Structure 1
């Protein structure tokens, strides 16, 4: 929900043929008076006492939700080749996945390409990005990590995407990160990657990962 009058939902869809994609549904709410002669109009009219019908206005209009657009994107994780940087064809999920893949193979230069221009300007260049990664124990855990599990994805605003990822470092230590992406010039890119320290959030991530592991064998059968 992006406000009282706008709702966005992204869904992963797989056709019977096996083809997959991401669909983004955008809905908007507009106020509409019930039309006379319809069931809604009869209900609205009945809510006004008979002795006030001539002078009382109709009740405030109820919002009517309508589908305003549907946008399709390639399914994240599909295809052998990883993207080399942001492009209009890539979904935010693909951007996160591609940077994680680059960091797993310790390709810091490739990972740097998925940062937004603003983030790159703050960090500096690829060398400084690599130094920052190596100096920080938790961010350094992304380099050569064993596994990364997406725990939660959401659209905070039409141009802001957030994803919580649980990462197991090469040494077996687990860290939790929140990816925040922005949409600029028709492309998604990474604005921030924040470490999650709140014990309650970490515990919730643990529970979610455990549930995913438990459900996986059932899905395979």
Structure 2
């Protein structure tokens, strides 16, 4: 009897690649469409990461669409938001790779830990803070209230508040 393991392995690899491709296509579609009530926090963050990776005015406009009304009050219009991203978060623009850990969801609030490798191969960590919106134009949509380094959330001197004390997570977003 012929060993069927190689065939099963090829089928499993093919299915995984198809799923990764499908997920990447869904995230690209989400980035282009903007916030939708059917998107969960990981899908929103993945769409935001894809928009940032583009490193184009269109990509930043896609990112801006995922900013909550409260975030927009703080960051201003698209022009001001663009300036803030370009000057304050250049490591995110055109990043080489990103991975995210499972979201921490509490009712209508979520935090999604993300690690990314910038174009210059430096590792950065961020916490994407999202909330489910109750606004008429996007009822039930998850949108970003803030993106901050994780140490910004921990009390100063608390265990785990420095990047060196935080562990990497094995969850990767599709390339």
TM-score by length of 2: 0.68
The structure showing larger relative contact order (alpha-carbon pairs under 8 Å, at least 6 residues apart) is 2
Q: As a proportion of its length, which structure holds more strand?
A: 1
Q: As a proportion of its length, which structure holds more helix?
A: 2
Q: 1:129 aligns with which of 53, 66, 81?
A: 81
Residue number in structure 1 paired with 2:4: none
Contact kept in structure 1, 2:41 and 2:112, CA below 8 Å: no
1:76 offset after TM fit, Å?
6.0
Change (3 A) 1:80 1:88: closer
Residue number in structure 2 paired with 1:194: 148
Residue 123 of structure 2 corresponds to residue 169 of structure 1: no
Q: 2:92 aligns with which of 115, 130, 142?
A: 142
1:117 offset after TM fit, Å?
1.4
Superposed CA deviations along residues 41-85 of structure 1, whole A, max 9, x for unmatched, are xxxxxxxxxxxxxxxxxxxxxxxxxxxxxxxxxx96563742121
How many pairs does the alignment contain? Answer: 138
Determine helix, strand or coil for the equivalent of 1:88: coil
After superposing on structure 2, the runs of 4+ consecutive aligned residues of structure 1 that deviate more than 2 Å are 75-82, 196-205
Contact kept in structure 2, 1:182 and 1:189, CA below 8 Å: yes
Change (3 A) 1:80 1:118: closer
Q: 1:151 aligns with which of 93, 101, 125?
A: 101
Partner Cα distance (1:121, 1:166) in 2: 27
1:193 offset after TM fit, Å?
0.6
Determine helix, strand or coil for the equivalent of 1:79: helix
